[in-house]
Chains A and B, each alone.
Chain A
Amino acid sequence: MYKTLLDIRSTIIPADRHVHLVHRFALPQGISKLVITFAYSPKKLEDMTRINELVVSAVERYVEADSRMAAYGNPDYGLLHNLLTVSLDDPAGFRGAAHRPSPEQKIFLAESEATPGFLAGPLPSGLWELTISLHEIVTDTCQFHLQVQSEEERRAGV
């Protein structure tokens, strides 16, 4: 039986970049599996005018004058994305992070197994923290959906 512990939808904007959104929630006793579903959209900035503005501004800020012409023309630089990452802490400390570009992630933790990036092990009751780190928001708005669900241990005879 899955129980939803947290289900949040939110809209963020470029002004929110570099914010950590910390969701502190209580995990009850006797939980055998924790499932985190996280999705955000859009991923990619499509507005060419805005892309050009952002690339020019980044090149001027970060690239020395004599290397700028090559930088403006670098095709990889035009691929601009939102980047939101999830990390998790149990009452005792760090339990993992998913620092990867995918905008749709399903993460689970259990006693003996966990999604890569996360530490398998007991799921102690108490206050846990799920942090969404807003590394980059390049689109005017970005919607995310975060859900945390728990599965109870199956007891013999129940």
Chain B
Amino acid sequence: MTIDWLACELHTHTIHSDATHTLSEMAEAARELEFDWIALTDHNTVSGLIGKETVVIEQGISILPGMEWTTFYGHMLTLGANVQQTADWRLIGADDIGKGLTDIHESGGIAGIAHPFRIGSPICTGCFWEFAIGKWQLLDYIEVWNGTSPNMKSYNRRAFEYWTELLNLGIRITALSGRDWHHSQVSGETTISVTYLGLGLDDRASEHDSGGTAEQRLLKAIRHGAASVTLGPLLTLSATEQLSRTETGQTYRLGDTAVIHSSNGNTLSITIEADFGVRKRQWTIVQQKLSLCLVGSKGIVAEWKIVAGSTIVEACLDLTDELWLRAELYGSMNGQEGLLAFTNCIYIEQAKTTVS
């Protein structure tokens, strides 16, 4: 099955809240940055979406409706058309976020924590997440990379580590990036992240993508974890059941759950692809040895040194007791050394009984 990876910017503001640009100006800048979709997530209002259809036609970019719940106890991004009608942040107290999330889901929307560890009040009011979370299953995603040059920010490193801890507890939650776009002036050292969301292109719908409007399919891709985050190259990960030396079974992709029948001697063959051809005019990675890692709940499973160019690596590895797998790419970009890209997870389950 082929996946169409759409370049998305999922956290933006306009003059309808505290930013300096209009939706049309931002959409034009986003199109120049070769994004396919932007989500408009103004603080506590949706009026910026009026005239959206005209902007979509004029600027040739798709726009997802959303809002940033800018509350006293945390900032939460909502995505989906009708959220404002049924969900009201002003009625949700520090212990009531479950109610707010239920309201958002009932409206057909999804929600994710924005910059969970950004410094809070009074320096940045409500920026640090302080809502008590009863049920993690109600949250659809965490914005683990916030702002420009996100891999250099200590609060994002903490969010990324926190995401890993949640995964290790068996909590399956998607990790995304968002520029928190308020203005378009950037310096030469600035890197801009992209969240790629995967939609199935096949007639046969994938595990998460069973049709609907483009907007609904994007929301489902986020909820499922069909997402890959990067400063440049697109990283993808797949796992194919290896039934015998020559025979393969099902292929699992980002967000899917792979079941290993190890009592049958079955294993998973892992493929990581780093595509350096995406949005090529927008970023540069100078020639160097990059580190491509397969990471699981027990740490690094495998590591490859690759040159800065499109690469595919494959391996059949011991995945005993792993709960999840993701790919990570490390190296230097614009003189800044760190994590350059990461995928969401393929979740792993060991089959309890032998399948005959």
Contacts and interface: CB of A to CB of B under 8 A. Distances in A.
* Co-assembled chains A and B: yes
Interface residues of A, number: 40
Contacts of A149: none
A58 interface: yes
B17 interface: yes
B117 A62 contact: yes
Nearest to A22: B90
Contacts of B141: none
Most A-side CB within 10 Å, residue of B47, B123, B158 = B123
Given A116-B16, A117-B45, A94 B84 contact: yes
Given A18-B72, A64-B154, A71-B119, A135 B18 contact: no
A83 to B, nearest CB: 5
Contacts, number: 88
Interface in A32-82: 54-55, 58-59, 61-64, 67, 70-71, 76-77, 80-81
A101 B43 contact: no
Shortest Cβ-Cβ A-B pairs, 3 listed:
A99-B43, A97-B44, A67-B154
A116 B44 contact: no
Interface string B115-154: 0010111110110100000000000000000000000001
Given A87-B90, A99-B18, A77 B44 contact: no
Tell me what chain B mostly uses at the interface: helix, strand, loop, or mixed: loop
B48 interface: yes
B85 interface: yes
A98 B18 CA distance: 8
B15 A116 contact: yes
A101 B90 CA distance: 18
A142 interface: no
Contacts of A105: none
Contacts of B70: 99, 135
A58 B122 contact: yes
Interface in B16-64: 16-18, 42-48, 50
B45 A114 contact: no
Given A80-B123, A94-B46, A96-B45, 10 more contacts: A80-B122, A94-B88, A97-B45, A98-B45, A117-B16, A118-B47, A119-B50, A133-B90, A135-B72, A135-B125
